[in-house]
Structure 1
Amino acid sequence: MAEPQVEIEIVWPRPEGPRSWRLRLPAGSTAADALATVVLAEGWSQDPFEGSPLGVFSRRIEPAYVLQGGDRLEIYRSLQVDPKDARRRRASRSR
């Protein structure tokens, strides 16, 4: 009998354009398992996702989160500028 599987999508916004992958993984796989699968499939020597915040449908999750069929695993980028600092700069320029 075949092992139960889940189908998920991974999305990764990048400055040069978004990347996405569709995966079929064994049921019970975690977000960390999914990312490791992508790193292996892409042949990357380093994990570019390490330490990146993760989410499923805009809800923050931990790497140990067990994925469900149809989940969209999102890899978030770090903020380039603190939003409060950006507002202060804009306010000081408009004065």
Structure 2
Amino acid sequence: MSTLLSVEVCYALPQAQTLVPLSLPAGSTLEQAIVASGLLQRHPEIDLTKQKVGVFGKLKPLDAVLADRDRVEIYRPLTVDPKTARQRRVEKTRREGSIEGRKWLSKDSR
């Protein structure tokens, strides 16, 4: 077993994604990986006391120990509540009419 872990630290903004590959000692934590990546200096808006972090889309605490080939992710706060966004999409589809709905109502499809 290797004494070094190969991990990536990822932070995505709407216009760009930053992905930093790292080699860390075995037993390193998410917080240690984030600090070592330099992302806190590159993106001063990151606040680890408020923002959530995880590995491959699963939320984890900052003191979680990493495994080889993990991708550490720093999540941005949501700008819109997902339920509200979905409701807006449904309302827009209803106003404009759904292609799928028209297909089932047309006489040609019978």
TM-score computed with the length of structure 2 as normaliser:
0.68
Q: Which runs of 4+ in 1 moved over 3 A?
A: 42-47, 87-95
Aligned-pair identity in percent equals 35
CA apart distance, 1:75: 1.3
Match of 2:16 in 1: 17
Cross-structure match for 2:69: 70
- Post-superposition Cα deviations, 1:52-92, rounded to whole Å, max 9, x if no partner, equal 21111111111011011111111111110112223444556
1:79-90 matches, within 5 Å, as 79-90=78-89
Distance 2:35 2:45 in 1: 8
Structure 2: stretches of 5+ with no match in the other structure: 96-110
More helix as a share of residues: 2
Q: Count how many residue pairs are aligned between Structure 1 and Structure 2.
A: 92
More RCO (CA 8 Å, sep 6+): 1
Identify the residue that residue 7 of structure 2 maps to in structure 1. 8
Cα root mean square deviation, aligned: 2.6
What's the TM-score once normalised by structure 1's chain length?
Answer: 0.77
Question: Which segments of 5 or more consecutive residues in structure 1 lack a partner in the other structure?
Answer: none
Whose radius of gyration is greater, 1 or 2?
Answer: 2
Q: Which moved more, 1:49-58 or 1:10-19?
A: 49-58
